[in-house]
């Protein structure tokens, strides 16, 4: 009894203040660099990269990253860069980088022009992962075969929040092309934990940022041990 009295009389440390809500994002689409910064904060791994505003910065980034690199146009004005000629792969020399920058410079833009240089990722299995805020179902996440196969095959699975690891496994097992995840022919057996972490990170992003309407990572390149987001798109809804 005395011990209980003494414990009750002992001053207690105040409860920690709740973490502040993250600042709302501006409406519209984020450029790839900004989108990758955001998904990385929620645990989605991204490749090493440098944002450059001049040729000099691009050549310095080339040296820092090491060949081969990818050079991309960095702008929120173009959501699908490949179709616009805004992605140049496997650049192995400064001369090849200059040719790529010439092509990127020729793309018409209204606003400022930047270049994103990124370390070239080794081949593996490409998936698409993302999230959308459905007016009826609320925030949902999706996974499917990615890269150039995403639109051609439309092989995707949808999950609702909150998302658990068994939910992710059910989504992956429902894909028609699930054999690609299990070491099909010369491909590695995909690291399902990394896929689950990416999907749960996107789910957490959608919960933390109710203003986000859409998140897309395509491709998420998945290895036997790990994964990398090679492209990312985030669209923020206009204020009502």
Which residue do the tokens 């859409």 mark? 214
DSSP state of 92: -
First to last CA, the chain: 59
Which residue do the tokens 């090491």 mark? 66
Q: How many angstroms separate the CA atoms of 91 and 21, rounded?
A: 41
Structure tokens at 224: 């036997």
Look at residue 169 in the predicted model and tell me its pLDDT. 95
Beta strand 227-229 with 212-222 is: antiparallel
Residue range 14-55, pLDDT digits in tens: 444 444 557 888 889 999 999 999 999 999 999 999 999 999
Look at residue 223 in the predicted model and tell me its pLDDT. 95
In 3D, which of 109, 103, 108 has the Cα closest to residue 55?
103
Q: How many angstroms separate the CA atoms of 5 and 55, rounded?
A: 72
In 3D, which of 88, 86, 77 has the Cα closest to residue 30?
77
Residues in the chain predicted with pLDDT less than 70, given as ranges, are: 1-21, 148-153, 239-240
DSSP state of 53: S
Beta strand 49-52 with 114-119 is: antiparallel
Q: How many angstroms separate the CA atoms of 174 and 171, rounded?
A: 5
Structure tokens at 200: 């749960």
Backbone angles phi and psi of 159, in degrees to 5: -130, 150
Q: How many angstroms separate the CA atoms of 225 and 190, rounded?
A: 7
Q: How many angstroms separate the CA atoms of 22 and 25, rounded?
A: 9
Residue 94 CA: distances (Å) to CA of 48, 127, 165: 19, 31, 44
Structure tokens at 71: 């050079």
């Amino acid at each position: 009894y005395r011990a209980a009295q003494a414990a009750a009389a002992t001053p207690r440390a105040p409860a920690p203040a709740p973490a502040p809500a993250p600042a709302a994002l501006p409406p519209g689409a984020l450029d790839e660099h900004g989108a990758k910064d955001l998904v990385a904060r929620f645990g989605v791994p991204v490749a090493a990269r440098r944002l450059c505003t001049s040729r000099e910065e691009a050549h310095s980034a080339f040296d820092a990253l090491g060949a081969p690199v990818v050079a991309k146009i960095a702008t929120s004005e173009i959501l699908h860069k490949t179709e616009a000629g805004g992605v140049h792969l496997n650049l192995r020399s400064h001369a090849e980088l200059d040719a790529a920058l010439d092509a990127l410079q020729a793309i018409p833009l209204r606003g400022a022009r930047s270049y994103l240089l990124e370390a070239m990722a080794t081949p593996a299995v490409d998936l698409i992962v993302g999230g959308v805020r459905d007016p009826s179902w609320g925030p949902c996440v999706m996974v499917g075969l990615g890269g150039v196969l995403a639109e051609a095959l439309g092989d995707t699975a949808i999950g609702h929040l909150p998302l658990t690891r068994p939910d992710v496994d059910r989504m992956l097992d429902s894909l028609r092309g699930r054999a690609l995840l299990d070491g099909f022919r010369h491909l590695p057996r995909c690291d399902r934990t990394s896929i689950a972490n990416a999907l749960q990170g996107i789910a957490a992003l959608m919960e933390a940022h109710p203003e986000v309407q859409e998140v897309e990572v395509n491709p998420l390149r998945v290895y036997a041990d790990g994964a990398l987001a090679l492209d990312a798109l985030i669209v923020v809804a206009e204020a009502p």
